[in-house]
Amino acid sequence: MGSNEDIMHDFVRRELKRLYPSVDGWQIRNAPQTAAGAGFILSRRLLGRSQGVHVLVCFDRTVSATAASALKEMAASAPVPGVAASRLILMVPQGAVVSGIPGDVQVLPMQSFGYDGKVLVWLKRRAQMSEKAAVKST
């Protein structure tokens, strides 16, 4: 039986599939587990050139430079063949504090999860609850 974290990573994988569709040649695979969390490796070959992206998923409220270091270590330990330097992306919930992330790491806010105050919420579920509340009040 899967855990909540597995389900949350499934939603992140779906977001990545929308951003990097297989129709455009992108392949997504799980990256080796790091101390900072789970990640994904995306790659494709386009017009004879290889492209690669390393993504680390972090659900913390405050994302530190440690996560960026873990992402760089993940990229170094599992390189994309034929790619000298892959893009580095840190996926975080909307509203997470990312002020300590270096400029060479792109921060990508998740569409599925965000912080409502100090609580991590599933954004789609929150929108559904708002719609139900609006219907009940009329």
For 96, the token pair is 């997470």
Could you tell me the pTM of the whole model? 0.82
Q: What DSSP line would sit under 99-132, residue for residue? A: TT--TTSEEEEEEEEEEETTEEEEHHHHHHHHHH
At 7-31, the pLDDT tens digits run: 788 888 999 999 999 999 999 999 8
Q: Is the pLDDT of residue 72 over 70?
A: yes
The residue extents of the domains of the chain are 4-137
Cβ-based burial of 91 (10 A; exposed 0-12, middle 13-18, buried ≥19): buried
Supply angle C-alpha 48, 49, 50, rounded to 5: 125
Q: How confident is the model at residue 44 (pLDDT cuts 50, 70, 90)?
A: very high
**How distant is the alpha carbon of residue 29 from its chain centre?**
13
